[in-house]
Every structure is written in C-alpha cells, then in structure tokens.
Amino acid sequence: MAGPDTAQEKLNTIVSTIAANMVAEVCSLYVLRPGEVLELYASEGLKAEAVHRSLLKLGEGLVGTIAESGEVLNLSEAQTHPGFKYLPETGEEIYHSFLGVPVMRAGDTIGVLVVQNRTPRHYSEEEEEALQITAMVLAEIVAAGALGDVADAVEADVAHTRSHHLRGQALAGGIALGHAVLHVPRIIITNFIAESIPDERQRVEVAIEALRNEVDDLIAKVDVGRGEASGEVLEAFRMFAYDRGWVSRIRQAVDTGLTAEAAAERVHTDMRNRLLRQPDPYLRERLHDIDDLTMRLLRILTGHAATASQTNMARDAILIARNMGAAELLDYDRRYMRGLVLEESGANSHVAIVAKALGVPVVGQAEGIIDIIETGDAIIVDGETGDVHIRPSQVVEQAYVEKVRFYAKRQAKFAQLRKRPAVTRDGVAISLNINAGLMADMPHLDAAGADGIGLFRTELQFMVARSLPGRGQQRSHYRAIVEAASGRAVVFRTLDIGSDKMLPYLRSTREENPALGLRGTRMALGRKAFLALQIRALLEAGAGHDMWIMFPMIANVSELMAARAVADEQRALAEKFGRALPRTLRLGAMIEIPSLVWQLDELLPQVDFVSIGSNDLMQYVYACDREHPLLSERYDPLSAAFLRLLQHVVERCKAHGVPLTLCGEMAGRPLEAMALLGLGFTSVSMTPASIGPVKAMLLSLDVEKLGPFMRERLAAGEENLRAALQRWAEDNGVAIAV
C-alpha cells in the first residue's frame, strides 16, 4: 500500500496476493456503487475486460445475495445455488467452488470479496475466517482513502459520505448549523497485524479484566436505586461482559495474527451483523449492549477518551449521542455547543429536559444516526420540526441559513421590547415569567425582560447529580438562585420525581403505569424526611428574602395539608433554634390533576397562590400521553372543553382572591397565550425564548374586546376555538408571530 503504484495496480496486487495465499484460482473484489449496484473492481482469474464492466444489483446473483444479507456463502457447487447468475464477460462458468464474504464497515456492506476454484470443494472454517479478516482490513483501507482515486469512487456511495435526511422528534426549539461531535468518539483502528501474538493475548486478558471491573463498578454505583426493570437490564449487560463465548472469539481472532483491538472489532462486526438480522426484537435490542461493551473495550485497549467532553471541541459543535445522562451533558462547554441529536431519547428523558433548560435545540429518536455520521461532518438540526440534515447539499444549507437569518431578525425585533412594560392596549398589566431549573437559566431573566421565575424545577439539580445532594448543597444552590433573581420572585417547585423522572440513587418500585403512580407530592409524602430536608434547605436559602414554595401533583386537599404540615413543622423548628427565616413565606399548589379542579373552594383558603401546570393537566383531562407521536396533534389546548375548565379555575381564584399563574407550553405560544388573557389570566410562565413573541402579542391586544368574544364562543357549543381565535386576531390586528 505504501508503494508508488496506481490505485488500480494496488487493488490488482491485493487480489493476486489473496488468491495465492488461499490457493484459489480466482479472487475478486466487488464494490457497492450508487444505485445499489455492485461493480467488479479487481480480479485475479476472471477475464480482465470484465473489471469495471460486470455489474450486479443488490440481491442479484451470489455476490448480490451476500451484499444484501451480509452473510457468508460457502458453496462447493456454485452453479446449483438458486441465486447463481451467469455473467458471460467474466468467464467464470468453469469455476465450481465459491466462497464469498461481505466487506463491511460500521455495520454497512460496502462490497464483497470472493475466491473461487475449478474443483468442487467446501472451504474450511479457517479459510472462511481468513477471508473475513482480510475483508475487514480491506474495508478499513478503502474507507481510510488509501486507494486514491479508486477509494474516492468507492466512498461516493458509502453511508458515511452521502447526504442524509432524518426525521426525529422535536424536543427543544431552535435551529443549529454546525459540525458533528460524537459524544462517544468512534475509535479508528490503524494497526491490524500483530507483531507478537503472545503480547496481544496478554493485552486482551488485561483489557477484559479491566472491562469487567468497570462494569461491576458501574452497576454497584446505581444498584441501590434501581427498580426491577432496570435491574434486569443491568444484569443482562453484566452477563455480556462475562460471556465466555464473546471473549473466546476475541482470543481466537488474536491467534490468527490480529492485534487485540482489531480482533475486538472483528468479533463486534460479526456479532452486530448477526443480531441485525435476528427476527427476535429482544435479541436485536441487545445490540446496544454489544456496541457499548466493545467501545469500552476498545477505549481500554487504545487509551482513547471516554467522551468528547474530555477533548477540545469546535465552536460550532452539534453533539451526537445514542443516549447520555444529564450530568454528562453538563460536562460540555455550553459556549461551544449549538445543538444535540439523540438516537434514542424522547422528550421526557433527563438529558432532553436539561438540554431544553439550557436553550439548546434538540432532536430525539433520530434512529440510525450513529451509523451514518462522523465527527466533523456538517449537520443541520431543526428543533422546531425534528429534521436532521447530515452533510447537507448547498441548496439545503442555504435554505437554513436564510431561515436562521429570519429568526435572528425576529428575535432582534423582540429584544427591542425587552424593557417595555407588559401592558395590553387597554391597560391590563400582565406578569411574564420564565420556567427554569438550573443556574444556567438565570441570565435569561434579564435577557428576556421577565418579571420573575414562575416555575423553578428543583428536581433538575437532583437529576444531574451522581448522588443525593445534601442539605448544604441544596441550600447553596437555592441561595444562588434567589440572589441571581435580584429581588424578583422565584417560585420553587418541590421535588417532582416519579413517572418519567427517576433518580438512579433513589430506590423505586416497578409500576405498570408510572404516569399515574408514585410521583410528585405523592412520592414526597411517602418520604417525608426527604421532603423535610428540601424544605429546610429552601427556608435557610431564603433567609431575609421572600420565598415561594409550590407543591406539585396534588390530587386531594388532604395531600396539600399534609405537605403544608411538613413546611410548618420545619419553620417552627427553625424559629425554635433561632435560625434566620425568609422575610415572607408563601405556600402554593400546582393544579395538574383534574380532581383538584372540583375541590377549589376547599383548596384555595389553604394556599397563598396556585399555578396551573397545563402540560400535565391537559394530558390527564384527555387521558392522552402528550408525547405520543400519534396523539400529540389530536387534542388541542384551544378546545372548548379545556378552555371551559381553565375558565372555571380563573373564576374560583378571583372569588377567593388567590393569585393564579399558568406554567407550561400553552403560555409560550402567542395564540394560546392570547386565549389565556381572554379568560382572565394576568400571570403566565414560559420558556425564555417565548417571552418576546408573547409580549409582542399582548402589546397589540385589547383584552376587554377579547373577553366577551371568548365567552360567547364558549357558550355556543363549538368543539374547538383555534380557527375562530386566529380569525379574531387577524381582524383585530393582534401580532401572532408564526
């Protein structure tokens, strides 16, 4: 390969060398070309004029069958096989024996390597293994560009060089253009052939032992908090690490003359190929375990960094991961990270929640992206639609550049409104607040021109921590938030875990329907010491300041009273021991469960404020998972049924004189926010990016005109008010940004 020959001469030398060593009369290399066509690129034994002329479609002939299935064909009489196809230009009719193996890279077939003999014979297992190893090395040589012009032609159709468009799940809005950074860097093997087989055997044994220790430590760290289901997953992972068959195959590959890392990759490619073609979904799911274990083993063997956070990142990095923990995301420098694409995670995953809080555009469920992308590839992430463009064409890139410019101009326009009071045209003052959960959110208060934080999700601190935060850690965190707010209100929601938000260090039980199980205040009341610790930390953090504490997922007034009793007890203890207390303490409840809507007359005298969690309330009203891809558009927050429910809450809160806020996605969309103001809401909380569009809307709105219109429509028996509200906004000059 280091010689001065042309690319074609190098290929010719390779197939001749293989034929000689295999004692074969024919050795041929076919390469997958655009249009799923296999082209004969080099041959020893077939007619020279057939090279670059013989073509087979994927699935056509023996070679096409191998490329399509990814499996070896070993035939003593090739012409009797039903897939055999005669190509006159090759002169191969005189050959009977046939052994073909796929040339694969990163799970993709990029060619087929074949040997043939005139005499009918069945090639031995050792010969199969030898040809497969040779194909693996050849695949890396081709992919590395070592074949010059020929390799360039080959790579033109390899998945890692083509443009791709994936449609995933939009998890956090925004558009990002940049270059891909693999969270777990792909390890490129450069040394395939062992100089000393005994040394490579020793390297394998040491690495396997280190891998098993790593897996044992990993499982031990989370063992205390795992449930039954997660325990089964972790034990399956451990089982693979200790599997004798897997280790034995790596040892056997080393004995053929491969380096330890080449042997591990060789076995991984073979197992991955087999599992991908398994009809059993459980076995296919185990593919992730094999991928993870192999990458861990290769990192141990090569000394590569575990994640890209330990390396220098480009300033326009778009992070690509199969999955990752919330704490791992925070290891990255936010200044350099423009977007995030996840192969598996959905909207409720910890990492997606934290990424959204950081204001990073996120797309999840981007199936297969890890297999078709490399670090450094150009990529566009559209967090509004869920589209991901890998190595985009110039036309696509230019279209998104224009889209980004449009959004930038719009945001600049909204930024000019930052210091303007949020007052409607007819003089109604509206409190615009942001939802937050991390210290990184606090600069958004000033940047968005918000009045305060209507919802601070305290659980994010617990989700990104590797162990339970102590009272001192919690107190310091909450104190920093209060001080950063500079006198503006911060409503702290007590720990809302359960359902989609579980803590690995907190023991949990398996639930058939976790969304309707132990979560929020229900869970907290089952662990009162846990709740007491958090409230004590909040009281200490709020010393000398105003403090708002809100309890989530309240279903009955008795639950609110029990939670309030814990807070009263902690306040009494603080007074007894002379600790500094907040200047004022307000306790509230979130209205997220429909049952509480019909207990408002009993609830409201017991609280200082209430807040509607529109996301959960909407899904419980309609018994509909808001993240279900087939149901997400079916139930509309502007349906008359849901608006009537909100109208009832507004009326009861006014009657009792209790302040009311709505937190959730509904508040952050201008048309929906307009409807809320028409119902009588004067305080809403949303993502920081939504403040500008919502403020632009309310500055152009006459609430006194909208209120009667909505009451009339709600009384008319219409099922949905979206179209009517849209027309009203257009007719009355209300700025509804799209």
- HSE on the CB side for 298, CA within 13 Å? 23
Q: Which of 461, 465, 464 has its CA nearest to residue 478? A: 461
In a domain, 192, yes or no: no
pLDDT tens, residue by residue, 401-436:
888 887 777 778 888 888 899 999 999 999 999 998
In a domain, 358, yes or no: yes
Q: Do residues 656 and 603 lie in contact, with contact meaning Cβ atoms separated by under 8 Å?
A: no
Q: Can you give the CATH number for the domain in which 388 is found?
A: 3.50.30.10
Going by C-beta distance under 8 Å and a sequence separation of 6 or more, which residues neighbour residue 445?
Answer: 434, 452, 453, 484, 485, 486, 488
Q: What is the pTM of this model?
A: 0.65
Residue 99 sits at φ, ψ, to 5 deg, of -135, 120
Q: Can you give the CATH number for the domain in which 296 is found?
A: 1.10.274.10
* Full DSSP string of 691-728: HHHHHHHHHT--HHHHHHHHHHHHHTT-SB-HHHHHHH
List active site positions: 350, 663
Same domain, 350 and 487: no
Same domain, 135 and 181: no
Same domain, 273 and 139: no
Same domain, 492 and 590: yes
In a domain, 191, yes or no: no
What was the pLDDT predicted at 224?
A: 38
Q: Which amino acid is at 712?
A: E
- Structure-block tokens of residue 41: 């690129």
DSSP state of 429: B
In a domain, 716, yes or no: yes
Beta-strand ranges (E) seen in 125-282 are 164-167, 169-172, 175-182
Q: Do residues 503 and 460 lie in contact, with contact meaning Cβ atoms separated by under 8 Å?
A: no
* Full DSSP string of 45-104: SS-GGGTTT-EEETTSHHHHHHHHH---EEESSGGGSTT----GGGTGGG--EEEEEEEE
In a domain, 2, yes or no: no
Same domain, 364 and 312: yes
Q: Do residues 53 and 93 lie in contact, with contact meaning Cβ atoms separated by under 8 Å?
A: no
What was the pLDDT predicted at 157?
A: 41
Same domain, 64 and 79: yes
Q: Can you give the CATH number for the domain in which 23 is found?
A: 3.30.450.40
Beta-strand ranges (E) seen in 522-613 are 546-551, 584-591, 609-613
In a domain, 736, yes or no: no
Same domain, 537 and 490: yes
Q: Do residues 181 and 342 lie in contact, with contact meaning Cβ atoms separated by under 8 Å?
A: no
Q: Which of 248, 274, 302 marks a domain boundary?
A: 302
DSSP state of 119: S
Quote the number of domains for the chain. 4
pLDDT tens, residue by residue, 697-716:
999 999 999 999 999 999 98
Same domain, 141 and 24: yes
Same domain, 534 and 623: yes
Same domain, 168 and 242: no
In a domain, 738, yes or no: no
Q: Which of 329, 472, 515, 431 has its CA nearest to residue 691? A: 431
42 lies in which domain range? 7-155
Query: Which residues does the chain have with pLDDT short of 70?
Result: 1-3, 92, 106-107, 140-162, 218-237, 276-288, 325-327, 346-350, 464, 466, 498-515, 626-633, 738
Q: Do residues 159 and 372 lie in contact, with contact meaning Cβ atoms separated by under 8 Å?
A: yes
Q: Which of 373, 408, 443 marks a domain boundary?
A: 408
In a domain, 520, yes or no: yes
Q: Give helix 244-255 / helix 125-143 axis angle, nearest 10°.
A: 80
Q: Do residues 368 and 343 lie in contact, with contact meaning Cβ atoms separated by under 8 Å?
A: yes
Q: Can you give the CATH number for the domain in which 519 is found?
A: 3.20.20.60
Distance between CA atoms of residues 80 and 64, nearest Å:
16
Same domain, 134 and 262: no
Same domain, 219 and 288: yes
What was the pLDDT predicted at 150?
A: 53
Q: Which of 6, 3, 15, 198 has its CA nearest to residue 113? A: 15
Q: Which of 379, 408, 437 marks a domain boundary?
A: 408
